[in-house]
Structure 1
């Protein structure tokens, strides 16, 4: 069992603000994404694949869609803590920021095995059940399963990944152009590193390094403008 990094999550106050942040920070305009009708969010994407360590990896700029309905399930909050007032206040100030990452498994059975491995830790980690999702794209509707807590929490201030299993071999990176953007390293700092490190190890995410310290997810990228380091800074 070995989950691999699927994508980094950049939360934006609005999708337009996320595009502006991307252009100012990375020197690139993100490519088209889509909408998530079950969550009331929409996104834009950028390919950051960097084999062999980070194959088929992308950056997602995601925001609440003001034209969409809230999550459809009663009591369900949007994923990635997007309904949290403190996070939205931070995003209103900064426009957008790195807040989380998503790791993929090969299939739904492996996703279930990963959630069970987290639940077996001491203390146990409740990553949430796998929920069926879909998104409409220019080439048709795509489907996947993703772990989703009812409270929408990321856990460990974004340093413990959400898990995803896609239906079929297709992946967003298959249609995303190469703009010369590369992910080089992904680090997690957290005051409870002794709890976070075994959780990432249980998922097989050995390439994500963990250190004790103030909560921060740190992604180092090569861009057309040169190296850029993104921080979550405990958001």
Structure 2
């Protein structure tokens, strides 16, 4: 059901260097010109990945930008998570179209529910559909042996979040926390990585 985790970072090149030093070199993704961001990806398994997302230094798109990226206060944080459109009950607003150009020139296309510019962290996932491209980004990524071991959702009002998750047909449950937070434990060849 998990499509991907959005890990917003202050500087993409530094984040890539940090993951690479840990034996997990991310694959450059591309730019989102309409959104003012760029990314790099790490495969988490079949049709699942971790997205490192940062403000594109060459953008002229002003804040606020999507995924709460301007609200993280200069720290790296999982700000969003996405689920496969066909795996959930979704009756929200119409899905928006999105795209980015890959390094080989191919245009990757998708449709998604609006992940919003606020809040900084949204523990209720957005929905994404890759059928417009006929391929999933994880299919193009090297398998480095990285997998999601656990996902933790925290929120001051877990009952309201859990009601929304249940209506989407998702098994995840939020627990009480002082502020919205998405935590993940990844398992790789060199051990566990806590995000």
TM-score, normalising length: structure 2: 0.87
Q: Which runs of 5+ in 1 are unaligned?
A: 50-54, 117-127, 231-235
Matches within 5 A, 1:1-235: 4-23=1-20, 26-49=22-45, 55-70=46-61, 77-84=64-71, 87=72, 89-91=73-75, 96-106=76-86, 114-116=90-92, 130-137=95-102, 138=104, 140-148=106-114, 152-154=117-119, 157-166=121-130, 167-206=132-171, 208-214=172-178, 215-230=180-195
Extract structure 1 runs of 4+ deviating beyond 3 A. Answer: none
3-state SS of paired residue (2:61): coil
Are 1:154 and 1:161, in contact at CA under 8 Å, matched by a contact in 2? no
Aligned-pair Cα RMSD in Å: 2.3
Offset of 1:163 from its aligned partner?
Answer: 1.7
TM-score, normalising length: structure 1: 0.73
Structure whose residues are more often helix by fraction: 1
Q: Which runs of 5+ in 2 are unaligned?
A: none
Over residues 158-216 of structure 1, what are the superposed CA-to-partner deviations in whole Å (9 max), with x where a residue is unaligned? Answer: 2111221121431001110100101112121211100001111122221x232122332
User: How many pairs align?
Assistant: 192
3-state SS of paired residue (2:70): coil
